[in-house]
Amino acid sequence: MIVLIAASLVSAQAQIAPGMKYKELKTIYNPKEYIPESTDPYSRGWAGVGSFLIPGLGQVIDGEVGRGLIFFGANLAAFCVYSVNLTNFASVCTTDSAGNVTGYTDEAAAVRYSRNAVLALLGMGVIDIWSIVDAIKVAKVKNMYYQDLRRQRSSVDFDFAPFFTYAPTAITASGSSLTPTAGLSMRVSF
Looking at the fold, whether 48 and 133 belong to one and the same domain comes out as yes
Looking at the fold, whether 150 and 164 belong to one and the same domain comes out as no
In the chain, how many domains are there? 2
Q: In terms of pLDDT, which residue wins out, 38 or 11? A: 38
Looking at the fold, whether 142 and 171 belong to one and the same domain comes out as no
Looking at the fold, whether 74 and 107 belong to one and the same domain comes out as yes
Q: Has residue 152 got a pLDDT over 90?
A: no
Looking at the fold, whether 49 and 138 belong to one and the same domain comes out as yes
pLDDT of residue 7: 47
pLDDT of residue 154: 64
pLDDT of residue 164: 77
Looking at the fold, whether 175 and 121 belong to one and the same domain comes out as no
Q: Has residue 176 got a pLDDT over 90?
A: no
DSSP state, 38?
Answer: T
Which helix (H) or strand (E) element contains residue 181? strand 175-189
- pLDDT over 90, % of the chain: 57
Looking at the fold, whether 151 and 173 belong to one and the same domain comes out as no
Please, where are the H alpha helices in the chain? 2-15, 22-25, 44-53, 57-61, 65-91, 107-153
Q: Would you say residue 71 lies in a domain? A: yes
Cut 0.75: pTM above it: no
Looking at the fold, whether 132 and 178 belong to one and the same domain comes out as no
In this prediction, residues 106-134 reach a mean pLDDT of 95
Looking at the fold, whether 92 and 134 belong to one and the same domain comes out as yes
Structural domain of 166: 159-189
In this prediction, residues 97-107 reach a mean pLDDT of 87
Looking at the fold, whether 77 and 47 belong to one and the same domain comes out as yes
Instruction: Return all residues near 80 (Cβ < 8 A) that are at least 6 apart.
Output: none
Looking at the fold, whether 63 and 125 belong to one and the same domain comes out as yes
In this prediction, residues 17-34 reach a mean pLDDT of 91
Give the number of residues written for the chain.
190
Q: Would you say residue 16 lies in a domain? A: no
Going by C-alpha positions, the residue among 83, 82, 41, 75 that lies closest to residue 57 is 75
Q: Would you say residue 24 lies in a domain? A: no
Contact 38, 113 (CB under 8 A): no
User: How does pLDDT run across 80-92, given as a tens digit for each residue?
Assistant: 999 999 999 999 9
In this prediction, residues 20-27 reach a mean pLDDT of 90
Quick one: pLDDT band at residue 6, thresholds 50, 70, 90? very low
Q: Would you say residue 7 lies in a domain? A: no
Q: Has residue 126 got a pLDDT over 70?
A: yes
Looking at the fold, whether 55 and 122 belong to one and the same domain comes out as yes
